[in-house]
């Protein structure tokens, strides 16, 4: 088997060494355009998991690396002169040049042909003359470009400039330091990689970089300026450069990683921001998976498919965490006024991979200090601290998110609604929300949607709220009011979500006459007189919500329903006072809010649900969402329930764990308005982490509460908490401990070994 490796970085070299070791008959050639010791950057960080894979696959390489590693446990975070240290993290690093030397030696000892200062032949030519072509040619991969139509790469350049530098001494921890300069915020990421050397990365927003004059500075001048900014961290020592240049990070995603016998590896296939780890780590793990695939499958095509199948979900998860981390640093200015200890916790948990639970295991003292600063009583997890909205005090920070049941008769909620909402109230959540309750028959999504446009409906809701207030004394119950707009007159979800009714349709109205998707009914553009009527319908529904006994009212301005349709430029093409500018698009939703607030009791809170992005080009942006939140808060909204999307059918959401929470985070920290975070928050550890970091005030969960109506009480039991934030109903107290199970403990050895 003839193997060509394009690129002599760590990923390409390690792949070559592994493949040669596993099958010495393979003829492997590595082409590297630069000299053997010609490298960028300074130190490389590898995780224990990656090192374990290396140890298993090639003990010789592992032994050489282990002899070189610098290890440390602490992370120091310095902000406004205050340093907080969190321990127990475990890092290992070595110099990039030394890593390359180890891999060069290993490749030579195995018989790999290393060709330095030699550009590789064209990828198409190599594919014709070799059995396998490994493209490890980096973020600017020529191979990827040569087969662009097949790999279909997506490249995104981000908002910060950064530069790799070094210090001639070893930092005693992984250090993050924040400098607030006259031009803006500058951050340092630093870590030791040798007994007498540290990597130092300096990063700042593009506009700060330009304002500070770095665009006009050369390599050494930039290093000198950075050393001056961080003189305290460096002890007055200089910073060293090595072909160091200011650049902006580029995220690389490819739809495919292989084409015929050509396969992408490392940065050519994917990149992940340096703030969550090393690209070298990902490349080495790619090499391990590729070698395994080729060992387990004689057919090259099957081997490459197995490699991609194994690595793609792992890389996608890493890239989601990396995006969260890089965006946190891009928006660092939002958090500067947080208390120093909370700021440190926020930084440590920025990627959502490190959580409150992780940090408690790693450094219990640090985490306990953060909890005290948050206001947790002794022994109380953050999620079980109370929260006040206007005259309503919630027992804990858990919200049962609105979930449509599509089970009402003529808009009247029935026994299923009683059981659904009652069970989740008994399950311990601080606030239980109804589904979207429609303000008129023509404002329904489906024939099965509940309403508040008749007194009979209000009476039925009163039956449910009375049960919650008497059966689950610690729970509050809220109603979400909305109008379907262009997304109405459809089948219930399990018969075809968003599919038009086969018969019995009713006419639709919307901000503009644009159907939701091909085949959907085209709505009428709502007239000025109809706007007046709809405002009245919302106010009447709110009046009935008072009679229905609700503690909180939420106005639904998200997910492409009527009010959301006014907010988004993709669905509002009006040319009157209700269309065009952001202020005009806000006009009708604010008028409705004011009409509802006028009849809703002053002591009861009102919230607004927003789609903070449309996940579509030309739609609502995060900047818009901040302005929407400011406007509603100025009109009296007590909190913003921050969701995303479902506004246009051709959206492209970036799904992932807690994927919507950055939008809530930004609104909270940029406007000071309390927020409810939603979106794939699945564990109580996530809830605690988001709260402690100051990214949200409440967390709303939907599917976890369908899986387990007692999710909140079980979260309390699993954390050993039995306080006022999670009281078990008297009839259920016997179930507050997990049931006993059979013991399967093996015998414990006690006797000494025989002679």
pLDDT tens readout for residues 645-691: 999 999 998 888 888 999 999 999 999 999 999 988 989 999 999 99
Residue 315 gets which letter from DSSP?
A: H
Smallest CA-to-CA distance from 646 within 556, 554, 751, 531 is with 556
Residues 584-611, mean pLDDT to the nearest whole number = 98
| Predicted local confidence at residue 417, as pLDDT | 97
HSE, side-chain direction, 13 A CA sphere, residue 565: 27
- d(C-alpha 563, C-alpha 335), whole Å: 31
Smallest CA-to-CA distance from 443 within 322, 517, 535, 374 is with 535
List own/partner pairs for 310-319 with CB under 8 A and 24 or more apart.
Answer: 311/257, 311/285, 311/286, 312/257, 314/285, 315/269, 315/270, 315/272, 315/282, 317/656, 318/272, 318/276, 318/277, 318/282, 319/251, 319/253, 319/270, 319/271, 319/272
Residue 254 gets which letter from DSSP?
A: E
Residues 253-269, mean pLDDT to the nearest whole number = 97
- Partnered with residue 133 across adjacent β-strands are 4, 262
| Predicted local confidence at residue 545, as pLDDT | 98
pLDDT tens readout for residues 7-46: 999 999 999 999 999 999 999 999 999 998 877 668 888 7
- d(C-alpha 441, C-alpha 537), whole Å: 10
Which stretch of 17-26, 54-63, 539-548 has the lowest confidence by average pLDDT?
A: 54-63
For all residues of the chain together, what is the average pLDDT? 94
Per the CB < 8 A criterion, the answer to whether 687 and 681 are in contact is yes
What CA–CA distances, in Å, run from 300 to 125, 148, 372, 569? 18, 21, 57, 49
| Predicted local confidence at residue 744, as pLDDT | 74
| Predicted local confidence at residue 749, as pLDDT | 67
- d(C-alpha 506, C-alpha 488), whole Å: 8
- d(C-alpha 685, C-alpha 364), whole Å: 15
Smallest CA-to-CA distance from 506 within 411, 396, 407 is with 411
What CA–CA distances, in Å, run from 54 to 14, 109, 110, 285, 657? 10, 17, 16, 9, 29
Element (H, E) at 192: strand 184-194
Per the CB < 8 A criterion, the answer to whether 645 and 651 are in contact is yes
Smallest CA-to-CA distance from 444 within 487, 502, 494 is with 487
- d(C-alpha 540, C-alpha 534), whole Å: 10
- d(C-alpha 636, C-alpha 606), whole Å: 8
Per the CB < 8 A criterion, the answer to whether 31 and 56 are in contact is no
Residues 249-269, mean pLDDT to the nearest whole number = 97
Per the CB < 8 A criterion, the answer to whether 104 and 114 are in contact is yes
| Predicted local confidence at residue 55, as pLDDT | 83
% of the chain residues with pLDDT over 70: 99
- d(C-alpha 662, C-alpha 178), whole Å: 21
- d(C-alpha 523, C-alpha 23), whole Å: 66
Smallest CA-to-CA distance from 106 within 64, 69, 138, 136 is with 64
Helices (H), 428-578: 455-471, 493-496, 528-547, 562-567
Three-state DSSP at 675 gives: strand
Per the CB < 8 A criterion, the answer to whether 605 and 389 are in contact is yes
- d(C-alpha 418, C-alpha 398), whole Å: 20
- Is pLDDT of 170 > 70? yes
CA 673 to chain centre: 21
In our burial notation (b when 16+ CB lie closer than 10 A, e otherwise), range 723-732 reads: bebbbbbeee
Q: What are phi and psi of 463, to 5 degrees?
A: -60, -40
HSE, side-chain direction, 13 A CA sphere, residue 625: 32
% of the chain residues with pLDDT over 90: 85
Give ∠ CA 293-297-300 in degrees, rounded to 5.
Answer: 85
| Predicted local confidence at residue 52, as pLDDT | 79
List own/partner pairs for 95-99 with CB under 8 A and 24 or more apart.
Answer: 95/42, 95/43, 95/44, 95/68, 95/193, 95/194, 95/197, 96/10, 96/39, 96/40, 96/41, 96/42, 96/43, 96/44, 96/280, 97/37, 97/39, 98/68, 98/194, 99/10, 99/44, 99/65, 99/68, 99/280
pLDDT tens readout for residues 380-429: 999 999 999 999 999 999 999 999 999 999 999 999 999 999 999 999 99
- d(C-alpha 132, C-alpha 119), whole Å: 18
- d(C-alpha 269, C-alpha 276), whole Å: 18
pLDDT tens readout for residues 152-169: 999 999 999 999 999 999
pLDDT tens readout for residues 180-192: 999 999 999 999 9
HSE, side-chain direction, 13 A CA sphere, residue 662: 25
- d(C-alpha 32, C-alpha 532), whole Å: 71
Per the CB < 8 A criterion, the answer to whether 246 and 222 are in contact is yes
- Is pLDDT of 752 > 70? no
Helix axes 622-634, 582-599, angle to 10 degrees: 40
Residue 516 annotated to the active site: no
- d(C-alpha 478, C-alpha 400), whole Å: 10
- d(C-alpha 414, C-alpha 401), whole Å: 19
pLDDT tens readout for residues 502-527: 888 999 999 999 999 998 999 999 99
Residues 467-493, mean pLDDT to the nearest whole number = 94
- Partnered with residue 399 across adjacent β-strands are 431, 700
| Predicted local confidence at residue 755, as pLDDT | 44
Residues 234-263, mean pLDDT to the nearest whole number = 95
Give ∠ CA 11-16-22 in degrees, rounded to 5.
Answer: 125
Four-CA torsion 223, 225, 226, 228, nearest 10 degrees: 120
| Predicted local confidence at residue 750, as pLDDT | 57
Q: Which of 191, 561, 578, 721 is catalytic?
A: 561
């Amino acid at each position: 088997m003839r193997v060509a490796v394009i690129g002599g970085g760590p990923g390409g070299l390690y792949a070559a060494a592994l493949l040669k070791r596993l099958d010495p008959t393979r003829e492997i050639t590595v082409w590297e355009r630069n000299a053997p010791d010609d490298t960028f950057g300074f130190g490389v960080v590898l995780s224990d998991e990656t090192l374990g894979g290396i140890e298993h696959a090639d003990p010789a390489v592992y032994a050489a690396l282990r002899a070189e590693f610098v290890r440390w446990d602490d992370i120091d975070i310095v902000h406004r002169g205050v340093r907080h240290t969190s321990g127990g993290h475990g890092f290992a690093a070595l110099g990039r040049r030394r890593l390359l030397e180890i891999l060069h030696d290993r490749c030579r000892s195995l018989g790999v042909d290393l060709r330095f200062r030699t550009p590789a032949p064209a990828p198409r030519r190599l594919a014709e003359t070799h059995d396998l072509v490994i493209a490890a040619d980096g973020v600017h991969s020529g191979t990827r470009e040569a087969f662009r139509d097949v790999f279909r790469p997506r490249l995104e350049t981000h908002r910060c400039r950064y530069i790799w530098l070094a210090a001639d001494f070893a930092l005693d921890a992984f250090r993050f330091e924040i400098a607030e300069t006259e031009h803006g915020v500058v951050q340092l990421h630093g870590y030791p990689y040798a007994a007498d050397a540290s990597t130092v990365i300096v990063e700042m927003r593009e506009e700060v970089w330009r304002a500070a004059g770095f665009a006009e500075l050369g390599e050494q001048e930039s290093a000198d300026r950075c050393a001056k900014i961080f003189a305290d961290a460096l002890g007055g020592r200089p910073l060293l450069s090595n072909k160091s240049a200011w650049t902006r990070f580029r995220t690389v995603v490819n739809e495919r990683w292989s084409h015929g016998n050509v396969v992408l590896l490392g940065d050519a296939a994917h990149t992940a921001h340096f703030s969550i780890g090393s690209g070298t780590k990902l490349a080495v793990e790619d090499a391990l998976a590729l070698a395994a695939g080729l060992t387990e499958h004689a057919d090259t095509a099957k081997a490459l498919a197995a490699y991609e199948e194994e690595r793609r979900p792992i890389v996608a998860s890493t890239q989601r965490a990396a995006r969260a981390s890089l965006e946190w640093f891009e928006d660092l200015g939002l958090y500067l006024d947080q208390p120093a200890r909370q700021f440190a916790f926020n930084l440590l948990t920025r990627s959502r991979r490190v959580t409150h639970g992780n940090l408690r295991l790693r450094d219990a003292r640090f985490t306990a200090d953060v909890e005290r600063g948050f206001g947790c009583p002794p022994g109380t997890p953050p999620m079980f601290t109370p929260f006040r909205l206007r005259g309503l005090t919630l027992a804990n920070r858990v919200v049962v998110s609105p979930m449509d049941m599509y089970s009402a008769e003529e808009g009247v909620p029935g026994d299923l609604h009683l059981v659904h909402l009652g069970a989740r109230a008994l399950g311990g959540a601080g606030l239980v929300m109804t589904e979207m309750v429609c303000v008129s028959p023509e404002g329904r999504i489906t024939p099965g949607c509940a309403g508040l446009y008749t007194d009979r409906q209000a009476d039925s809701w009163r039956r449910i709220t009375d049960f919650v207030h008497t059966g689950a004394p610690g729970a509050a119950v809220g109603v979400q009011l909305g109008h379907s707009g262009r997304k109405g007159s459809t089948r219930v979800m399990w018969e075809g979500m968003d599919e038009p009714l086969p018969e019995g349709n009713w006419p639709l109205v919307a901000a503009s006459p644009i159907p939701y998707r091909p085949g959907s009914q085209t709505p009428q553009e709502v007239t000025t007189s109809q706007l007046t009527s709809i405002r009245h319908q919302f106010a009447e529904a709110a009046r009935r919500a008072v009679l229905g006994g609700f503690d909180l009212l939420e106005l639904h301005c998200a997910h492409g329903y009527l009010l959301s349709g006014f907010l988004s430029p993709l669905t509002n093409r009006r040319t009157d006072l209700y269309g065009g500018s952001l202020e005009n698009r806000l006009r009708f939703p604010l008028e409705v809010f004011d009409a509802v607030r006028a009849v809703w009791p002053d002591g009861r809170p009102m919230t607004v649900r927003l789609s903070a992005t449309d996940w579509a080009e030309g739609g609502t942006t995060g900047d818009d969402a901040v302005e929407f939140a400011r406007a509603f808060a100025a009109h009296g909204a007590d909190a913003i329930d921050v969701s995303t999307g479902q506004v246009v059918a051709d959206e492209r959401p970036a799904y992932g764990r807690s994927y919507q929470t950055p939008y809530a985070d930004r609104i909270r920290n940029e406007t000071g308005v309390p927020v409810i975070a939603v979106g794939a928050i699945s564990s109580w550890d996530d809830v605690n982490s988001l709260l402690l970091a100051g990214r949200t005030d409440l967390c709303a969960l939907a599917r976890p509460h369908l899986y387990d109506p007692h999710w909140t009480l079980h979260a309390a039991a699993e954390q050993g908490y039995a306080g006022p934030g999670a009281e078990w109903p008297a009839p259920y107290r016997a179930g507050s401990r997990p049931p006993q199970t059979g013991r399967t403990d093996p015998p414990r050895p006690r006797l000494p070994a025989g002679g």
